[in-house]
Chain A
Amino acid sequence: MSLTVWSVLFTSQTNVFGYNRAEMISYIFMAAILHGLVLASALYGLAERIYSGDISSLLLKPVSLFSYLAIEEVADKGRNILATLIESGILIALFQPEIVLPSAYTTVVFLLWAAGGVILNFLFSLLFGTLGFWSPDTWGPKFLFFIFLDFSAGKLFPLNILPDWLQSALFLTPFPYLTFMQTQVFLGKVAIDKILIHSSALLLWIVLFYLLNKFLWHWGFKNYAAQGQ
């Protein structure tokens, strides 16, 4: 879909928003692959499972709940990666687009950041799960979140086409670190001296959301036991 729009755009232009044709196509492919890898999660039904009490059976198993959920997530990711790789493989074979390839150094950074994005999204999913401790209606907030995510993680279009003030605002949130920054480092659009800063930001968000999760789950379970659901 976005491929067709962009290719129409590039019929009359050679450079749109600072992206040339090859870069934009690489961006779209990378964004799609990262979307499948990072943002797809097996845990979107977690809140319902908690609210319905389904989660109790997991609590009885001899593994910690979080390891269990993490394993579920990893298994799901495995399947997703395979599917997206095959899909993009077919698309690339069909259209044979020019793709920008990164250097060895940026590849390492890219992989590390991608792993960071996966962890961050896992923490998000867990956080949404806690909604189930308090409410059966969790679809609305999730819908809003997905819409926001599609935008803020750069799935619809690269964030650097936005006005500067909006970009700076977005970079105060963790969302660009889910998939957008990864595509940028892949395309070589992140200066070497900025890599350390962005890496620390990503790490900081992970730590923050880890702590937030710890607190909310603790609180949620207390609430759970109190209501005897």
Chain B
Amino acid sequence: MNRIQTYWRVWRLTGFNALQVAFVHRGTNIFFLLGKMFRFSISLLFLLLIKQSVSTLGGYSSDEMLVFFLVYQVIDSFSQALFRNVYVFGNQVKNGELDFLLIKPLNPLFRILTDKPDINDLLFLLPTVGVSFYLLSTLTISVTPVSILLFAVLFVNALVIALALHILIVAIAVSIVEIEGLVWLYRDLTSLGRFPVSIYHESIRLVLFFLIPIGLMLTVPAQVLLNLKPSVGIALVFGITGLLLLSSLQFWKYSLKKYTSASS
């Protein structure tokens, strides 16, 4: 219990510090926020335009497509806001800051992943969630209390998948230092989840459900919310998530051992 309190205090402080830093660079951050808003509205606009001229897409109604997009938006923003520090982790390895994290009495992964939560993304969550709820109320879709509950569970599961994928990124980055490419690969892959992964080509679909489970992270929760038959059984979703988390932790341990065996 005490340990959890410590972690919570540390996280709160880094979050508060990140907020202060954001204030130091407030000018530039306003632009970032505007940029994100703009991208969000453009994507929405695009979907609405498609909705006007196309009625079904890969077996989904255009209203349902919109739900897939909104689910992507919310889950992606959450995981981005939470696991922000990976973006600078490459630098931390390069300039030796990682050494300072390793000698502290705190699991190094915790700070590697969650340091400096992105205030922009947190702020951005407010309007997107608001807009999402508004849009959801205007759509003709079948959402029930049970489906919302199940969605909530899968939402947490999605964050666990995001966590595992970020651990993998960090673990690879420890050995190759270069992280930007990896992070962008991850971003590109998740952005495939803007649309239900099940509409893609067979081979892509298999990869996105079972290898790098973007589909389990983004598509399945939306399907469940919509009371549609999920592409992958729920039990299997949890199974794959657990397996992924365990193997990513194992891989992290291995990488760390390799890192600490390497030259100074």
A touches B (Cβ under 8 A): yes
Which positions in A face B, CB cutoff 8 Å? Answer: 1, 4-5, 8-9, 11-13, 16-17, 135, 137-141, 143-144, 146-148, 151, 156-157, 161-162
- Is the Cβ of A8 less than 8 Å from the Cβ of B54? no
Judged by a CB distance under 8 angstroms, whether B16 is at the interface is no
By the criterion CB–CB under 8 Å, are B58 and A144 in contact?
no
**Could you tell me if B31 and A140 are in contact, using CB atoms closer than 8 angstroms?**
yes
Q: Report the bound CA distance from A5 to B50 in whole Å.
A: 11
Residues of A within 8 A of B58 (CB): 8, 11-12
**B57 close to A144 (CB less than 8 A):** no
Q: Encode contact with A along B180-199: 1 for CB under 8 Å, 0 otherwise.
A: 00000000100110010001
Chain A proximity of B55: nearest CB distance (Å): 9
In chain B, positions 28-68 with a C-beta closer than 8 Å to chain A are 28-32, 34-36, 38-39, 42, 45-46, 49-50, 53-54, 56-58
Consensus secondary structure, chain A interface: helix
Question: Separation in Å of the A170 CB from the closest CB of chain B?
Answer: 12
Indicate if the CB atoms of A143 and B31 lie closer than 8 Å. yes
> Which residues of chain A are near B56, meaning CB under 8 Å?
12
Rounded to whole Å, the gap between the CB of A111 and the closest CB of chain B is 30
Pull 12 A–B residue pairs with CB atoms less than 8 Å apart, ordered by A.
A4-B200, A9-B50, A9-B54, A16-B54, A135-B27, A137-B28, A138-B28, A139-B28, A144-B34, A151-B39, A151-B42, A162-B45
Q: Which residues of B contact A1 (CB under 8 A)?
A: 188, 191-192
- Whether the pair B31, A144 counts as a contact (CB closer than 8 A) is yes
Asked if B3 is at the interface of the complex by the 8 Å CB criterion, the answer is no
How many whole Å from A218's CB to the nearest CB in chain B?
Answer: 24
Nearest chain A residue, comparing its CB with the CB of B29: A140
Q: Shortest Cβ distance from B214 into chain A, in angstroms? A: 13
A137 and B27 CA atoms in complex are apart in Å by 8
Distance in angstroms from A14 CB to nearest chain B CB is 12
B201 in the interface (beta carbon within 8 A)? yes
The B interface, classified by DSSP as helix, strand, loop or mixed, is: helix
A1-B191, A8-B58, A147-B35 as given contacts; A17 in contact with B53, CB under 8 Å: yes
Q: Apart from A12-B54, A12-B57, A137-B25, what are 8 other A-B pairs with CB-CB below 8 Å?
A: A8-B195, A8-B199, A9-B50, A9-B54, A140-B25, A144-B32, A144-B38, A147-B38
- B3 CB to closest chain A CB, in angstroms? 37
Asked if B152 CB lies within 8 Å of chain A CBs, one says no
Residues of B within 8 Å of A161, CB to CB, are 49
**CB–CB A4/B192 < 8 A:** yes
Q: Is B204 an interface residue (CB 8 A)?
A: yes
- CB within 8 A of A140: which of B28, B38, B53, B192? B28
Contacts of A162 in B (CB 8 A): 45, 49
Known: A137-B25, A139-B28, A143-B32. A5 touches B195 (CB 8 A): yes
Q: Which residue of A lies closest to B43 (CB)?
A: A156
In the complex, which residues of chain B have a beta carbon less than 8 angstroms from the beta carbon of A146? 35
Contact A13 B195 (CB under 8 A): no
Among residues of B, the one whose C-beta sits closest to the C-beta of A143 is B35
Asked if A147 and B39 sit within 8 Å, CB to CB, the answer is yes
Residue of A nearest to B36 (CB): A147
Q: How far is the CA of A17 from the CA of B53 in the complex (A)?
A: 7
Cα A139 to Cα B87 in complex, Å, equals: 15
Which of B28, B50, B53, B201 is packed against the most chain A CB atoms within 10 Å?
A: B28
Q: How far is the CB of B200 from chain A (nearest CB, A)?
A: 6
Residues of B within 8 Å of A148, CB to CB, are: 35, 38
Specify the chain B residue showing the minimal Cβ separation from A166. Answer: B45
Q: How far is the CA of A161 from the CA of B195 in the complex (A)?
A: 19
Complex interface: chain A residues within 8 A of B57 (CB): 8-9, 12
- Give chain A residues whose Cβ lies under 8 Å from the Cβ of B54: 9, 12-13, 16
Measured between alpha carbons, how far is A141 from B195 in the docked complex, in Å? 29
Nearest chain A CB to B181 CB, angstrom units: 15
Q: Which residue of B lies closest to A18 (CB)?
A: B53
Min Cβ gap A147→B in Å is 4
Tell me how far the C-beta of A132 lies from the nearest C-beta in chain B, rounded to whole angstroms.
13
Look across to chain A and name the residue whose beta carbon is closest to the beta carbon of B24: A137
Q: Which residue of B lies closest to A148 (CB)?
A: B38
